[in-house]
Chain A
């Protein structure tokens, strides 16, 4: 092997990830954002530090003095907000989010036991992977993130025929429907779904994503809204709940993705 000692790697490539690494600790950032109330603070901390077992006990304690909706909104959701902040700063990675979301789910379940009516979610997303496509990790991550952001998810799984997706959307009446595909030939199901939804008079944003999928393709058929990353799902769902149709979301897509709207 050639002697590699003479190589100054600074002249070959730059580790921008190390150069730009945040020096702040999660605890420092969390401290600035945690609720002041000690009981709610503990609930939020259990989310931030991914204590999916401890959170159940913390929620039980909180429910002794406040209602379940407050525990969710002022404790659990606050914790997820901090997790999102840490992810945005590159301090937390995907596994942190998944584990925090699991803690969130456990906490919400405990709160729901105290509710007389079902917990009202922000909206419902029908999710699927295109027919013929077995690649579903992106859909699974997006589903977890939507749930932890307060949305209900009807997960239809993978390799789902066009007719089944259309029937489910007609039945559930969600705020968005999502489709993911890794391959060029499976993503061709998306325009067919859009066409059949419109034939039935159903108009809603159809969020499409995946390896082979691109914005030009998705915007070539009605209803299509492109998503580049799983994290963008909640933002797009939020706009759909606010009454934005697919045309308005498309028109504001760049600003939405840049976090400017």
Chain B
């Protein structure tokens, strides 16, 4: 399948972008429309530790407890639409026929039943687990111990054949190198890991997923660089965390956007994954709907941009919560209430034609709380998108230039006194600009340099990427 690179922006300018509307809305599931004038809450969940004991216990947990609880609460609080996301646990990809299939069939039947009974628009995103291990092999035929590359594809097929409305994955390509980059503060290694190796992995994986989706008439959603950019973001953390500089996390996020974009270039249509905080950049470039998460996902993690991330979302998610009881019901019911209320606020704003005002309030609140928030503020996300499409045909160079543009935007704002930076953030930013500038523009030269420099990084095997 040909990969169609983005070489122009689908939005004419940043101000065109707003939550609840995408250039290319999409319909799927049971009456679900995304990016078509309203925001839909997307509820995500994790089973309790012992639930995966056998297929029966796992199916009961996902279908009879989690899905039923969600649908009951969605109707109870009057949501017009809800999307579920099942991020598959390892058992579902390791033995997909046994563990995955009954869960998918059961969940689909349950959401269809509520749609039929109440008219509520429902859909379910199935996010395939990616347990591939670089030390064993990332492509078909390489991992003779686990056969994970083949199992990922099999799990996607089973999900598509048995009722998924939307298919996604959090793919792991390049993680061994990006982890090394984070641990050693080496932005060049990170660029190599995600901007190049991760991109190659996406180009191997996503054409296969899109084919499976087309064959089964399922929507191919998209990916996220959870494995790379979110690792940076979580380790950069908040104001008491001192492991990774937040300027490093900001730049990695923008590099990551070029890799996540490849799913769309391979034929995925969105909505992309909620934990891909690079979503605003992708939406600016592609016009595809975007799932995002923020202040209503504090059940899963903390961040410094909980309002800002709502600015241009089409689905609003809680990221994930373990199923357990709370005072207000089960955890999935409580967090559905939380994301549902926020979506209702956004939708009321749209009805009152105040959506751009609310968008700007979201954005303004967090714009200067962290360099990463600053970079994905919709105006800067658009600017970074413009840089990406300018070098759109060159998978490596656009990644380098996206990182450099992000660093320059932060630096320019800091010089004006708007974006405040700590000493560690400033020092790291200067090193990033120096190191990215020093990377050759030519892909072959860059790759030759990195293959020599990083050949001993644990787990790194060029064969995993067809090199």
Contacts and interface: CB of A to CB of B under 8 A. Distances in A.
A12 B308 CA distance: 13
B67 to A, nearest CB: 17
Nearest to A181: B49
Question: Which of A2, A135, A183, A186 counts the most B-chain CB atoms under 10 A from its CB?
Answer: A183
Contact of B322 (A90, A134, A186, A212): A212
Contact of A18 (B15, B184, B242, B422): B422
B327 interface: no
Nearest to A9: B368
B182 interface: yes
A21 B46 contact: no
Interface string B349-369: 000000001001101110111
A158 B133 contact: yes
Prevailing SS type, chain A contact patch: loop
B48 interface: yes
A87 B48 contact: no
Contacts of A2: 357, 360-361, 364
A157 B421 CA distance: 37
B25 interface: no
Interface residues of A, number: 41
Interface in A211-225: 212, 217
A7 B46 contact: no
For this complex, into which size category does the number of interface residues on chain B fall? Answer: 35 or more
Interface in B144-161: 146
Interface string B126-153: 0000111101000000000010000000
B52 A12 contact: no
5 contacts: A94-B242, A132-B90, A140-B183, A185-B91, A188-B49
Interface of A: 1-2, 4, 7, 9, 12-13, 15-18, 21, 87, 90, 93-96, 98-99, 131-137, 140-141, 144, 157-159, 183-188, 212, 217
Given A1-B14, A185-B90, 16 more contacts: A2-B360, A4-B364, A7-B364, A94-B185, A95-B186, A99-B185, A132-B90, A132-B94, A134-B131, A134-B172, A134-B175, A135-B227, A137-B179, A137-B182, A159-B131, A184-B46
Interface of B: 14-15, 46-52, 89-91, 94, 130-133, 135, 146, 172, 175, 179, 182-186, 227, 231, 235, 239-240, 242-245, 322, 357, 360-361, 363-365, 367-369, 379, 420-424, 458
